Chain A
Amino acid sequence: MIEIKNLNFGYSKKKLLFKDLSMQLKAGHIYGLLGKNGAGKSSLLKNMAGLVYAFSGKIDVIGYNPAKRQPALLKEICFIPEEFYLPSVKIDSYVKANAAFYSNFDHNYFGDLLAEFDIPVDQKLVNMSYGQKKKLIIAFGLATKAQLIIMDEPTNGLDIPSKAQFRKIMAAALTDDRCIIISTHQVRDLDNLIDTVIMLDESCVALKASVEEITKKLCFKRIKELDDTVIYAEPSLSGYHALMPNYHDEDSKLDMELLFNAVLAEKIKIKAAFN
């Protein structure tokens, strides 16, 4: 669905954010895009949506170049930005004005999502809380039935029940012809939702692996004492949360936060575990 080849991008030519970045994203997956502040998560998403222009390299999204901003591609992209704007109108006026651009817009599904997110339908958009607005644009975006769903920090501003609803809705929204990319700092919000992890660090992809592949090669454990096999560990009340190579095919649950910190701290060791 998305093919990025040798992408060179930055906000200044002297300091590139991505150097020769390449990756492929396929339909039928939910990708979690992680990285430190300033690692380029939002910029990568904007490159995919054609909101910024790269210096060189190629991006192909469903057979189109996103930089051309062609309507045929734009109607297949649902982009949920971190900061967004909604006009001072009611939901039905907003839908009337925007939904017609998306030939596959599903009004019934949109109604169901509004009900599930508990959004008041007769309220003006400007009078809604930040969380309600966010849920509304998520509901609208999903109802467009776009093939590519890009979300930048979608759980920011959502309360705890809404985060659970979000995970449930997103898991149900995944189909074989859809690709969902979620960028977030709040890695715990993506637990049990994403199937592939992409980590950006120092202008490149530090890790891109499926959850299955990660738990096959790495083991997430609680241990009392550290030994030589431990790649990375964080102290806890009862010992350590440790990450180590999975030599004995042990079953363990992916700890996204631990993995994230491990990739930043022990990049070489983690790469070695995947090679």
Chain B
Amino acid sequence: MNNTFDIQRFGLLLKRKWLEFGKIYLITLAVVFGVILAAYAIAFWPVFTGLEPFNERKISFRVPLFIGLGFLFLTAVASSYFAHLGQKPKTIIDLLIPASTFEKFLAGVFFTGILSTISYLLIFFLTDVVFVANLQDAARDKVYFFSIVRHGLYAPVYILPLFVTSIFLLGSVYFEKFHYIKTALSVMVFIGVWMAVVFKSGELLTRGRHAVENNPIVHSGDKSPLECMLTLLLIVLTIVFWVITYLRLKEKEV
């Protein structure tokens, strides 16, 4: 018997987890779907009923809605995944289920990082397609939401869902209670301290000096090196957070 990973056991674990986690997950997804539907209905209804003509401003709500709601949904799901480990009776059952810690961790990554992202993208794009498809033919091609993605986004954006969920997944296993608030506060404090350190150290290091004009990274006109570095940084940080989550799960006690 492989004590680290077994595909059949992993499948059983996903099935078992769905029994407990699936209900909360589907309710959250339904709420998210309701919010998207409501936002689209409010914006498109006057156009459909002929009260107002269609213009680009009518659909400017989509980007902030997509980012804001997506962030809330992904972080809420990730933050609740291991939250039950703060309760002794649930922890005992979870730790003693005959699956490896790696499989339990991987199931967490699957539900929070992969399934949540895919399902969110799917319901957002489908809602968008349904509403936009009912617009006049002339406007339709320009305003599909996925047409923004089709031309390619800033590369780190593709990593962001995994990065954000990795932080909140760690928070769900690290804190015993109030996982979401504590994780959000920790991230804010960390960003604050980090920015202060970068700002202060930058000020100290560059005091009395002039900026170099032809910095190959910042001023080349080609943003790809910076983009690559940022993408790489996010990938590395995501992996680091996952490793810490795995170790934290491994050392969890009742």
Which of A98-106, A175-183, A189-197 touches B?
Answer: A98-106
Q: Which residues between 84 and 104 of chain A lie within 8 Å of chain B, taking CB atoms?
A: 84-85, 87, 89, 93, 97-98, 100-102
- Residues from chain B with a CB closer than 8 A to the CB of A102 are 98
Residue from A51, A71, A83, A85 in contact with B3 in the complex, judged by beta carbons closer than 8 Å: A71
Given A70-B3, A85-B87, A89-B19: A51 and B253 interface contact (C-beta under 8 Å) = yes
Q: How many residues of A contact B (CB 8 A)?
A: 27
- Check if A74 is an interface residue, CB within 8 A of chain B: yes
Q: How large is the interface on B (under 10, 10 to 19, 20 to 34, 35 or more residues)?
A: 20 to 34
**A84 CA to B3 CA in the complex, in Å?**
26
Which of B89-97, B133-141, B160-168 touches A?
Answer: B89-97
A166 to chain B, nearest CB (A): 20
Given A71-B9, A98-B97: A85 and B254 interface contact (C-beta under 8 Å) = no
Given A71-B9, A79-B92: A87 and B20 interface contact (C-beta under 8 Å) = yes
- Check if B16 is an interface residue, CB within 8 A of chain A: yes
**A49 CA to B92 CA in the complex, in Å?**
10
| Total cross-chain contacts (CB, 8 A) | 65
**A10 CA to B160 CA in the complex, in Å?**
42
- Check if B238 is an interface residue, CB within 8 A of chain A: no
- Check if B101 is an interface residue, CB within 8 A of chain A: yes
- Check if B1 is an interface residue, CB within 8 A of chain A: yes
A101→B9 contact, CB < 8 A: yes
**A74 CA to B19 CA in the complex, in Å?**
21
B19→A87 contact, CB < 8 A: yes
Query: What is A's interface to B at a CB cutoff of 8 Å?
Result: 46, 49-53, 68-72, 74-75, 77, 79, 81, 83-85, 87, 89, 93, 97-98, 100-102
Query: What is B's interface to A at a CB cutoff of 8 Å?
Result: 1, 3, 6, 9, 12, 15-16, 19-20, 87-93, 95-101, 250-251, 253-254
